[in-house]
Chain A
Amino acid sequence: MKLDAKIPQGPLEEKWLNYKKTARLVNPANRKKLDVIVVGTGLAGSSVAASLGEMGYNVKSFCFQDTPRRAHSVAAQGGVNAAKNYKNDGDSVYRMFVDTLKGGDFRAREANVYRLAECSLNLIDQAVAQGVPFGREYGGYLNNRSFGGVQVSRTFYARGQTGQQLLLGTYQALMRQVDKKTVALYSSHEMLDLVVIDERARGIIVRNLETGEIEKHAAHAVVLATGGFGKIYYLSTLAMGCNGSAIWRAHKKGAFFASPSWTQIHPTSLPQSGDYQSKLTLMSESLRNDGRIWVPKKAEDTREANTIPEEERDYYLERRYPAFGNLAPRDISSRAAKERIDAGHGVGPLKNAVYLDFSKAIKEQGQAKIAEKYGNLFRMYEKITGTNAYKEPMKISPAAHFSMGGLWVDYELMTTIPGLFALGEANFADHGANRLGANSLLQASVDGYFIAPYTIANYLADQIRTGKISTDHPEFEKAVKENKEKINNLLRIKGSRSVDYYHKKLGKLLYDYCGLTRTAEGLTYAIEEIKKLREEFYKNVYVPGENDTMNAELEKAGRVADYLEIGVLMCYDALTRNESCGAHFREEFQTEEGEAQRNDVDFQYISAWEWPGSLEQEPILNKEELKFEFVQPTIRSYK
């Protein structure tokens, strides 16, 4: 299939304007006749549901948490980027566009990235108007901080809770529409399937997580804003319920899945300390402004950190990347940590961490100053580990964090299924092979507030005469039946291992073979191992309880069943990309100094995978060639 990204004509700065000028509209009187389903209430989902509600469409909003306000956007700490140039330090939409494109290692579409930077200006205006309490200077104007990979200060923040505050702003906008009855809320509902009728997305099947009831919902268009699926690695910075099920089920109904293996592994999270562990908590990237990263020069050194003399410490980021030092981008910092850990220099009881040391900063600036900047993070560190990081270095370690991959979408954020849109982290769009810090709160919000309301209207314009979509259609009945069967199958297995057992095994395989570094041999092995694990899962998993009650184990089982399929596709994706770019590092393709070696001649494309019809067949690769008309790809160097 030929993929058409539908990028508008014209110079970069005029593409989005041109689109908006010519997009079709729906008359206000007709809007209430049109139904839109939005799955997800993070920044992307809440903002699009609220915006469509304000315009007068009939919206249904779904999330699996017990209220929209708990979507995982809530956990973002650091901040959100916008090219406001309030610091007068030479920032501009164009500069932000170039930074993002370069940060993504030239594996994203120019037109999309430019639009992201362009709409960043409106987002800050909108959030401030909603009452989001961003950090301010004493004169009352908005303040900014810096983030990794750029040389300007364009990051807006609300202490260490930027995601929470942005999310509450959009949640409140959503609840206002709920009050006005333009949006109906379905919390504690999980999407199980997409319903496609005559090649258009026409509805979804959901499970009411309290009663277990399987429900049908129909609409003229369906929006998936279901977030990232990094939880596939089991240990990650994501929430326990984050999943890939919604987009995976849509994939199996015909939506292409782009770059599934591009996962950002964040360098500064807390290390795993035991088998019981369920989550790796993120420590903000901002700590790397003052913390120095090191490991003992001697392998297998078991001395206490503070007893290791200065000359026996290896500050490996400063050594390898003198220009950026401890602030080298995420993919590079994580890889460098893994290299040291694998070489036997890891620290901590499981030898899986590196030190993040503040002693120099404390000596130079005083403890009070460091406490003022990072006090909440030091407190959090102590709460979790019981260790005082003013006295001894923190132990940190890389953790799966963000999915650059997701459903393939065109410039309108529409998938390969007409009427099915994907927004926020659930799509692959703007970050290329590596996302810059503070760009994804932005992307999720911009998709929902400023892009999708136009592009969905453009799609709905010819749906006015369609009339109500009925859930009596045989496709709905079929989907309900299939999903009930799937659930009952899981409950019938009654094997001897818990769902978590399989999830942990899968996570370990992916970390080892489709994580920070990959090889053809390892990926081939992992594909076979994951397939075996899947077989064993269907023979030996134990899912307790019934289908018609609240049943957390059953929810997990459904998600892990999908993960076991997604994991295989991730490995195929990594295996077929014979180059290294951004977070995708194939050991066979590196420079003499051990840096990523991109191959623009053969791999300047987005891999968009097509469901082949069954698990027995190999997934089908489609390519969207990337054209660089405005910026020429260069080699990323942070030396």
Chain B
Amino acid sequence: MKLHLKIWRQKNRKAQGKLVNYTLENVNPHMSFLEMLDTLNEQLIQNKEEPVEFDHDCREGICGQCGVVINGNAHGPLENTTTCQLHMREFKDGETVLIEPFRAKGFPVKKDLKVDRSAFDRIISAGGYVSVNTGQAPEANSIPVSHAIAEAAFDSAACIGCGACVATCKNGSAALFTSAKITQLAILPQSQEERKERALNMIAQMDKEGFGHCSNTEACEVECPQGISVLNIARMNYEYNRASFLKFKK
């Protein structure tokens, strides 16, 4: 296969970026999208040009490090698939492919296709945890959790923190990411003590990071590699209202 690539190149945070055209021959349909980028970089290195920086690590869809916008879609044309799990058989010979970084106010570009997602860490550190020190835990089976609740908590906890939800949202909202963690911990019995503060603090941090508001387009759920449901956002809104009301009452 032969591909025409249009790739976003940007030297650093402050530099102006631009799209640059490349042609790549001999693309094997069994290659993953990232292996296609490896092949391009190998070609650039042979020509003594600077390779394209892109994020990646585990290459099996779970670390959440990879992610680019391909022809306008976060993680490319397949639903619920990370960039590393996307294969070139999804593209046509001779096709032009536009490759850009995840774009959002909360995710500044660091270089080329790499963006800064540390805002997610700060949202978690604002309350996305159970306050239990090492050594304080009671015997595991002393807190039964119904099968249904455990499975639902898992569905929310499965988020890989890649940021595709933010990149795909026209408002650059981090509601899906934040709500998944709030929901997981709100429905489990382990940490009811912190439920109110958690919701208020995590949402405050999310707003502070410059992420936009959720306007219920549900685009995030489609691109999410783990298929995290937008119902988590409804739950987050409930938790926020509940916490605000209970706080007000006190």
Q: Using a CB–CB distance below 8 Å, which chain A residues touch chain B?
A: 47, 50-51, 54, 65-70, 72, 74-75, 84, 86, 122, 124-142, 158-159, 161, 164-165, 168, 171-173, 175-176, 178-179, 185, 187, 210, 239-241, 273-274, 276-279, 281-282, 380, 383-386, 449-450, 453, 496, 498, 500, 542, 544-545, 549-550, 552-553
Given contacts A67-B117, A175-B121, contact A129 B150 (CB under 8 A): no
Q: Is B1 an interface residue (CB 8 A)?
A: no
- Cβ B35 vs Cβ A386 within 8 A: no
Min CB–CB distance A197 → chain B (angstroms):
30
Q: Is B6 an interface residue (CB 8 A)?
A: no
Q: Is B129 an interface residue (CB 8 A)?
A: yes
- Cβ A549 vs Cβ B12 within 8 A: yes
- Listed by A's residue number, 12 A-B pairs whose Cβ atoms lie within 8 Å are A54-B133, A69-B64, A70-B65, A124-B140, A131-B153, A131-B190, A175-B121, A175-B124, A210-B111, A282-B60, A383-B85, A384-B85
- Cβ B31 vs Cβ A552 within 8 A: no
Q: Is B146 an interface residue (CB 8 A)?
A: yes
- Cβ A240 vs Cβ B134 within 8 A: no
- Flag B101-131 by CB within 8 Å of A: 1 or 0 each: 0000000001100101110110011101111
- Across the interface, A171 reaches (CB within 8 A) one of B124, B138, B139, namely B124
- Cβ B124 vs Cβ A136 within 8 A: no
- Residues on B with C-beta less than 8 A from A125 are 137-140
- Cβ A550 vs Cβ B53 within 8 A: yes
Q: Sort A-B residue pairs by CB-CB distance and give the 4 closest, nearest first.
A: A140-B144, A172-B129, A129-B137, A175-B125
Residue of A nearest to B44 (CB): A544
- Cβ B128 vs Cβ A175 within 8 A: yes
Report the Cα distance A135→B137, complex, angstroms: 19
Given contacts A239-B58, A276-B35, A453-B134, contact A142 B141 (CB under 8 A): yes
Given contacts A240-B57, A281-B60, A552-B53, contact A136 B65 (CB under 8 A): no
- Cβ B125 vs Cβ A138 within 8 A: no
Q: Is B39 an interface residue (CB 8 A)?
A: yes
- Residues on B with C-beta less than 8 A from A137 are 147
- Residues on A with C-beta less than 8 A from B25 are none
- Cβ A276 vs Cβ B28 within 8 A: yes
B side interface size, CB within 8 A: 78
Residue of A nearest to B129 (CB): A172
- Residues on A with C-beta less than 8 A from B125 are 175-176, 178-179
Report the Cα distance A86→B157, complex, angstroms: 25
- Cβ A140 vs Cβ B146 within 8 A: yes
- Give me 10 other A-B pairs in contact (C-beta within 8 A), A70-B64, A132-B157, A168-B157 excluded: A65-B63, A68-B121, A86-B141, A131-B184, A131-B188, A133-B145, A161-B158, A178-B121, A545-B51, A549-B11
Report the Cα distance A542→B46, complex, angstroms: 9
- Residues on A with C-beta less than 8 A from B137 are 122, 125-126, 128-130
Residue of B nearest to A71 (CB): B63
- Residues on B with C-beta less than 8 A from A51 are 133-134
Residue of A nearest to B144 (CB): A140
- Residues on B with C-beta less than 8 A from A47 are 134
- Across the interface, B45 reaches (CB within 8 A) one of A72, A158, A279, A498, namely A498
- Residues on A with C-beta less than 8 A from B97 are none
- Across the interface, A544 reaches (CB within 8 A) one of B50, B61, B85, B129, namely B50
- Residues on B with C-beta less than 8 A from A544 are 44-45, 48-51
Interface centre among B45, B64, B85, B158, by most A CB within 10 Å? B45
- Across the interface, A74 reaches (CB within 8 A) one of B62, B118, B154, namely B62
- Cβ A65 vs Cβ B65 within 8 A: yes
- Across the interface, A133 reaches (CB within 8 A) one of B35, B56, B143, B153, namely B153
Report the Cα distance A542→B48, complex, angstroms: 8
- Residues on B with C-beta less than 8 A from A279 are 59-60
- Cβ A277 vs Cβ B35 within 8 A: yes
Min CB–CB distance A204 → chain B (angstroms):
21
Report the Cα distance A132→B156, complex, angstroms: 11
- Cβ B30 vs Cβ A274 within 8 A: yes
Min CB–CB distance B37 → chain A (angstroms):
10
- Residues on A with C-beta less than 8 A from B50 are 544-545
- Residues on B with C-beta less than 8 A from A65 are 57, 63, 65
Q: Is B160 an interface residue (CB 8 A)?
A: yes
- Cβ A179 vs Cβ B60 within 8 A: no
